[in-house]
Amino acid sequence: MSQQPQSPQPFQPPAIGGPGGAMELAETEGQGLEHPEGGPDGGGPRERGRSLWSDAWHDLRRNPVFVIAGLLIVFLVLISLWPGLITSADPLSCDLGRSLQESSSGHWFGFNAQGCDVYTRVVHGARTSVTVGVCATLGVAVLGGLLGGLAGFLGGVWDAVLSRVTDIFFGIPIVLGGLVFLSMTGSRSVWTVVAFIVLLGWPQIARIARGAVMTAKQNDYVLAARALGASNTRMLVRHILPNAVAPVIVTATIALGTYIALEATLSFLGVGLQPPTVSWGADISAASEGMQFRNAPHILVYPAIALSLTVLAFIMLGDAVRDALDPKLR
């Protein structure tokens, strides 16, 4: 954002050019009342110029939950971008002769029913999950934020109509909706699943965004901007959105984990991703076919652990961000 004051400097009583009457008050405030530099915490870093975001970042770096979740997510993003970093095998080159073989040196997670290396498939599945999670969350945040924000800002008839539409979409059970909609599509790619999640996921964010915009709209600084003659666009962009975006970010971060789980659920139910796309959900689904995992639990356990860790990491991240952005917890 904008640059901060270069160095803390001794408080100087403000120079007032006016006649005597005002001098005394300037001096009293200079000496007695709390001013930024003379705060109770003295010379610590807290007193420096900070926005809410830099305060939040300051808190987050000291939060072990955030650090653990963050490291996990960085690792996940790295292997989904370059799976070759930790595996050199091709997840699609399988040898039926090694079907359901247990773990061995060189193949730590063993082989699945098709004779594919489970470790390689788990590593390559990260890309699908991260793509679905991140893209679905972005889509939901943009669509939900836009519609919810408009409803909150415009109010009146717009709010009534948009809110009812939100309620209608909110009422559709997401897994049931997935079974109906996705089973009608012929071939499903990652983008089909992302589009579906955005279509049914946006109402959650829209409600949060609407509430946040309505709260921000009532603040006196919005009135002050209007009293200055600010346009609607200016009030929205400079005053309302920056103050309404925090709850949307928090909800979206937590939702990201659940979207990854949702993709796995849909793939498990057979309406999500199809081979040859490598997906943890599809692998879990394959493992449960014909109860194969009774004899070879490793084909179920490893993708399930990867999925749980990923979902957990994103939900922990969302929790930590929420705590850091909530001014009431300060």
Partner 1 sequence: MSTRPEKPAEESGEKPTAVTTTKGAGASAEREPILEVRDLVKHFPLTQGILVKRQIGAVKAVDGISFDLYPGETLGIVGESGCGKSTVAKLLMHLERPTSGTIKYKGEDITHLSGRALREVRRNIQMVFQDPYTSLNPRMTVGDIIGEPFDIHPDVAPKGDRRRKVQELLDVVGLNPEYINRYPHQFSGGQRQRIGIARGLALRPEIIVADEPVSALDVSVQAQVVNLMEKLQDEFGLSYMFIAHDLSIVRHISDRVGVMYLGKMAEIGTDEQIYEHPTHPYTQALLSAVPVPDPEARDGRERIVLEGDVPSPANPPSGCRFRTRCWKATDKCAEEVPLLAVPETFAGQDTPAAHPSACHFAEEKAAVVAA
CB of 21 to partner 1, least distance (A): 6
**Segment interacting with partner 1, rule: CB under 8 A, options 22-30, 113-121, 187-195, 258-266:** 22-30
106: contact with partner 1 by CB under 8 A: no
Secondary structure (DSSP) of 19-34: -GGGHHHHHHHHHHS-
Residue closer to partner 1 by CB (options 195, 225) is 225
Q: What is the DSSP letter of 238?
A: I
CB of 33 to partner 1, least distance (A): 6
Site residue total, partner 1 (CB under 8 A): 46
Residue closer to partner 1 by CB (options 177, 242) is 242
Residue closer to partner 1 by CB (options 88, 220) is 220
User: Is the C-alpha dihedral spanning 296, 299, 300, 305 positive or negative?
Assistant: positive
93: contact with partner 1 by CB under 8 A: no
Instruction: Give the footprint of partner 1 on residues 25-54 (CB under 8 A).
Output: 25-26, 28-29, 33-36, 47, 49-52
Residue closer to partner 1 by CB (options 15, 291) is 15
Identify the bridge partners of residue 107 per DSSP, sorted by sequence position. 104
CB of 62 to partner 1, least distance (A): 20
Q: Distance of CA 139 to CAs 51, 158, 194, 238, 248, Å? A: 27, 22, 8, 23, 13
Q: Distance of CA 93 to CAs 88, 97, 98, 99, 283, Å? A: 12, 12, 12, 12, 15
Encoding tokens for residue 183? 């089973």
Count the Cβ atoms, other than its own, within 10 Å of residue 224.
11
58: contact with partner 1 by CB under 8 A: no
3: contact with partner 1 by CB under 8 A: yes
- 286-289 CB contacts, 8 Å cutoff, 24+ apart: 286/112, 286/113, 286/114, 287/112, 287/113, 289/113
What's the one-letter identity of residue 176? L
Taking the CA of residue 330 as centre, how many other CA atoms within 13 Å lie in the half-sphere pointing to its CB? 12
> From the CA atom positions of the chain, what is the Rg in Å?
27
CB of 309 to partner 1, least distance (A): 35
Burial category of 230 from C-beta neighbours within 10 Å (exposed 0-12, middle 13-18, buried 19 and up)? middle
| Alpha carbons 116 and 278: distance in angstroms, whole number | 11
CB of 238 to partner 1, least distance (A): 7
**Segment interacting with partner 1, rule: CB under 8 A, options 19-27, 125-133, 248-256, 276-284:** 19-27
290: contact with partner 1 by CB under 8 A: no
Residue closer to partner 1 by CB (options 183, 219) is 219
Instruction: Give the footprint of partner 1 on residues 217-246 (CB under 8 A).
Output: 219-221, 223-230, 234, 238-239, 242-243
Helices and strands counted in the chain (H then E): 13, 0
CB of 99 to partner 1, least distance (A): 59
CB of 5 to partner 1, least distance (A): 6
- Give the length of the chain: 330
Encoding tokens for residue 280? 């943890």
Residue closer to partner 1 by CB (options 12, 295) is 12
CB of 318 to partner 1, least distance (A): 21
Which parts of this chain interact with partner 1 (CB under 8 A)? 1-5, 9, 11-12, 14-19, 21-22, 25-26, 28-29, 33-36, 47, 49-52, 160, 219-221, 223-230, 234, 238-239, 242-243
